[in-house]
Structure 1
Amino acid sequence: MCGSNDYLGLSTDPRVTAAAAEAASQYGAGCTGSRLLNGNLDLHEELERELADFFGKEAALLLTTGYQANLGAIGGLCGPADTVYVDKEAHASLIDAARLSRAKLQWFHHNDTEDLAAKLAQHSGPGGKLVAVDGVYSMEGDLCPLPELLDVCDRFDATLLLDDAHGAGVLAAGRGTAEHFGLTDRVPLITLTFSKAFGSIGGVVLGDEDVVEYLRHHSRSLLFSASASPANTAAALASLRIVRDEPWRCEAVLKKADHMRSELLALGYRTGEPGTPVVSLDTQDEIHTLLGWRRLMDTGVYVNAVLPPAASPRLRTSYTAVQTEEQLDRALAGFALARDVLGPVLTRGA
């Protein structure tokens, strides 16, 4: 499995599955209502407190999915008078959130702070300015230039929202992209999901207490959706505690991903930047992407075949803290066999 987002291997950890089973037994299979009405549990509030403490923010707001966390944050804070500036490679949930908020949507080039500054300089009117980026981009595996982004936001009085779905639980002993750069105090809003490193499902908005409290009463995706199930909530809480107590998992997944990146380069593949669990492999076009994916499947190696409109054609691979050396060697053998169908754009001298 080289296509999972279960970066720390926690979705099948016995402590996590036991916590989920116990919560389902105690509270039932679901909450059958929104948190505002009848779906709020002490378990939800306990997870919020521990998330805020772990990530170094004043408060946390738990939502049912990571997608809903972005919709709740942007939709709750922005309106028709505002402008949301979105990185062109940002996750679809940030784009949809901007559109649903009815704010003006303004793109800027991927990780291009000069283009962002130029767009912000053209802003006019009384409305607010929100900049929405990923911490680790899920398709390419590259980091956002967080220090430069914050400097631009400060210069133009804009608020930054950092979606750290693929950085939280992995970078900086699990504390994510903001902590990786030592800038947690400067990032006003952080969203993340439990469906990656935390092995469950759910989402959270982290920020100042007054902002989170405002969102608790103005986020439509929170107010009009059933709350996270007891099992998913307990699983996320158990995973959070494991991340806190076992930082070796974060180090292990990065080490294994960088090992695979190095070995894939040696095989002739073009890969992205080091330092994240995502290793993206260039492909020539859609047909070669599918041919390569099929060849890898035939050798027993699963990767993600990425096609437009999700992103440009590529094979997205990712790795976990609990994969063995033998498993990684088996995957590399599959990648070696797949080179003949992938074409010259993917491989050099193959």
Structure 2
Amino acid sequence: MATEQGARRVFIGLIVFSIALVLLVASPFFEAFFLAAVLAGAFQGLQRWLTRRFHGKSGLSAGLLCVGTIVALLAPLAALTAFLVSEIIKGVNFISTTVQQRGLEGLLTYVPGPLREPAGRMLERFETQSVGLWQTLQEQLATRGSTAAQTVGGVVVTTGSVAFQVVMMLIALYFLLVDGQRLVAWMESVSPLKRGQTTELLTEFRRVTKTVLVSSVATAGVQALAALVGYLITRVPVPIFFAAVTFFFALIPAVGAAVVCLAAALLLLATGHPIAALILAIWGLLVVGLADNVIKPLLARRGMHMHGALIFFALLGGLSVFGAIGLLLGPLAVAFFLAVVRIYERDYGRPSRRPGAPATPPQNKPTVEEGEEFEPAGFHTDGGGVEKHSH
């Protein structure tokens, strides 16, 4: 017959095995679930306020927050796409009108001086080789068709995967907003830790993720303002729009805000403003680009209660190991370590005393030599073994 200790060990093994299976099943949705948990923690206060405003309808408030998240994700992309499409249409109309009225040579008058000579040579080469251009184009399409198809297929698959993860994140976000408190209470009840420790760790996670999100948005705002100053000084066309695009790209760790400044600098260079392009490129790299590495750790330091250098290396380390999502996982890993150490020191460590205070021996705990019997203070026995109280 199995002993109780053996049965407990087997049951612990079954628990570990079931946890491994659950993690394996949830692994395809790790990023979606993680981002949903982060957003649910960040929206917790707003969710409670909306639920009170809607007379306890948590499902309605959660749905509104999910719709707001969709708008926040799609609105910048839609605005950027609309701007690019309109500018491309304007450029195509301008080129077609110029070619019809003045021919291909008429386009050279709009090319900046340093680029006019290379553009003229390219135009002459195009005119001399235009006879066999269509045949060459057909041959290239025939030979590179499979490669192009694979590239397009890869782009479609990647886009579909991102869209799928976003949909899964929104579904998980909705249920976490509605039943997040019940989930935390259930985790607290089944956790092997002491009462309150699991909730404390989850609260620490929520505070860190909220701090990282707020600091990221605030840093993007500062970078957009700094870029706007550069756009106004160098007279970039449509500076407000470029500042909005800078804010959007500043939230993408793999891209950054400096890319938009460099693109605007190339636009200035192509329109014949080399000095302004150089100034904007230097401004974007030194001021706009480096602001992310300085402002974000300073803002995150207030909410995380960590040293600024520790937050800086946590952000960069998480970004290099986990990618874009590492901006959250890096600080979370460090915060988890510090929280575990703090809880252990508080609940299981030695009692703390003030620095420099002498270690005092315990009071009212007389030592007992070997072979002696301990007598409580104020009592002694006489030779006959009669207990007497000493005043």
TM-score, scaled to structure 2: 0.21
The structure with the largest helix share of the pair is 2
Instruction: State the structure with bigger RCO (CA 8 A, min sep 6), 1 or 2.
Output: 1
Bigger CA radius of gyration: 2
TM-score (norm 1): 0.23
Higher strand share: 1
